A = this chain, B = another copy of it.
Amino acid sequence: MRCDTLWRNARLATMAESHAGLGEVMQGVVASLDGRILYAGDAADALALEADRVIDCEGRWITPGLIDCHTHLVWAGSRSREFELRLAGATYEELARAGGGILATMRATRAASLDDLVSQALPRLDALLAEGATTVEIKSGYGLNLEAELKQLRAARALADRRPVTIRTTFLGAHAVPPEFARDADGYVDLVCRSMIPAVAAAGLADAVDAFCEEVAFSPPQVRRVFRAAEAAGLPVKIHADGVRAMAGAGTVATLLPGAYYFLRDTQPPPVRLLRDHGVPIALATDCNPGSSPLTSLLLTMNMAATLFRLTVEECLLGVTRHGARALGLQDRVGTLEAGKDCDLAVWDVERLGDLVYRIGFNPLHGRAWRGQWIA
């Protein structure tokens, strides 16, 4: 059978649900045709394959391309000065006077052009890709008015034209209350529901709608209104919130964000045992954002999940592949090495898969493929 590219002489971690553990194949091949996986599995079971291009992996490990299923990657401005002032002992008041917090990012994002947003996000995206990411979710939520939210989503979509990567966009208008509505969160929710969600949906700029349900953000009734508006616009929903039993019942994926836990020096780890007991799949993501997780490494995200949350190596690797895909509703397209899925691969210079989780500040990526396109 003809194929475009054949990765041979590889060890595979297919991550397929039908296999035990990580679906390890010690003598494996992956064949791509028209951007999809034609075959991934044991070399001995493969049909005769005639490839236009053969890549000898010299025994390296292949995993599915990594998935960062929760980021706020597109923003303008920097919060490093705020970080610096806080370490130097600045009081909350001094920080507020220096103009910190999410509203600082909102102001810079509103003021930025579309091109500025794209060019400021690109180095962050490149850092993720350099470690084998092939799918990245990006939320809006720093515009907090219609025009700026649309601009932020357009910038996220534009990144997909600039780099070989699958981008999924999420409208997060209900991220914070902008100063125009300082004492009228309900008024802002009205705007989100009546004007922003319909406009975002009509422009085809979002794949989903998210809302931030917490004391400092929006109340459950407010979030319910946002979700009804999303449903009316035909968009799936996701939520920044807690509640393990409800998640288990609804078939939801829990996305853990160890970078924010680390950066904010949180001391209350997520209820990992409860998630396990209820069979809730666990995804891991960078949460890349300027305020609580200026992190652009999925490898480090895995190490933090293991070190700080005691996730196993298997849970970590599934969290940035199969379960990350499911968190995005992309389980039929990416996240495992199975025939018919996008041929998104990460090829690693490691002896053991566990090395990807164990090592800290080390990038053993040999190369990656996105929709069959090999980038080494």
Interface residues of A (CB under 8 A from B): 78-81, 83-84, 87-88, 123-124, 127, 259, 262-263, 265, 286, 293-297, 299-301, 306-308, 310-313, 349, 351-352, 354-355, 357-364
- Enumerate chain B residues within 8 angstroms of A351, measured Cβ to Cβ: 78
- Shortest A309–chain B CB gap in Å is 10
Which of chain B's residues has its CB closest to A359's CB? B294
Closest 6 CB pairs of A and B: A297-B361, A80-B358, A80-B354, A295-B360, A84-B354, A300-B361
Contact of A78 among B80, B352, B360 (CB under 8 A): B352
Given the complex of chains A and B, what is the CA–CA distance between A359 and B358 in angstroms? Answer: 21
Assess whether A263 is in contact with B127, with CB atoms less than 8 Å apart. Answer: no
Supposing A88-B312, A307-B265, A312-B88 touch, asked if A83 and B358 sit within 8 A by C-beta, the answer is: yes
Assess whether B360 is in contact with A297, with CB atoms less than 8 Å apart. Answer: yes
- Enumerate chain B residues within 8 angstroms of A312, measured Cβ to Cβ: 84, 87-88
Contact of A359 among B296, B310, B311, B313 (CB under 8 A): B296
Given the complex of chains A and B, what is the CA–CA distance between A355 and B84 in angstroms? Answer: 9
Given the complex of chains A and B, what is the CA–CA distance between A81 and B88 in angstroms? Answer: 40
Assess whether B87 is in contact with A311, with CB atoms less than 8 Å apart. Answer: yes
Given the complex of chains A and B, what is the CA–CA distance between A123 and B366 in angstroms? Answer: 13
Assess whether B80 is in contact with A300, with CB atoms less than 8 Å apart. Answer: no
Assess whether B297 is in contact with A362, with CB atoms less than 8 Å apart. Answer: yes
Identify which of A259, A286, A312, A349 gathers the most chain B CB atoms within 10 Å of its CB: A312
Which of chain B's residues has its CB closest to A352's CB? B80
Which of chain B's residues has its CB closest to A363's CB? B127
- Enumerate chain B residues within 8 angstroms of A262, measured Cβ to Cβ: 307
Assess whether B307 is in contact with A263, with CB atoms less than 8 Å apart. Answer: yes
Identify which of A80, A263, A357, A363 gathers the most chain B CB atoms within 10 Å of its CB: A80
- Enumerate chain B residues within 8 angstroms of A265, measured Cβ to Cβ: 307-308
Assess whether A294 is in contact with B78, with CB atoms less than 8 Å apart. Answer: no
Q: List 8 A-B contacts (CB under 8 A).
A: A79-B358, A81-B354, A83-B313, A83-B358, A294-B359, A294-B360, A296-B361, A297-B362
Given the complex of chains A and B, what is the CA–CA distance between A355 and B355 in angstroms? Answer: 28
Assess whether B259 is in contact with A84, with CB atoms less than 8 Å apart. Answer: no
- Shortest A312–chain B CB gap in Å is 5
- Enumerate chain B residues within 8 angstroms of A308, measured Cβ to Cβ: 265
Which of chain B's residues has its CB closest to A301's CB? B361
Assess whether B83 is in contact with A296, with CB atoms less than 8 Å apart. Answer: no
Assess whether A127 is in contact with B362, with CB atoms less than 8 Å apart. Answer: yes
Assess whether A361 is in contact with B81, with CB atoms less than 8 Å apart. Answer: no
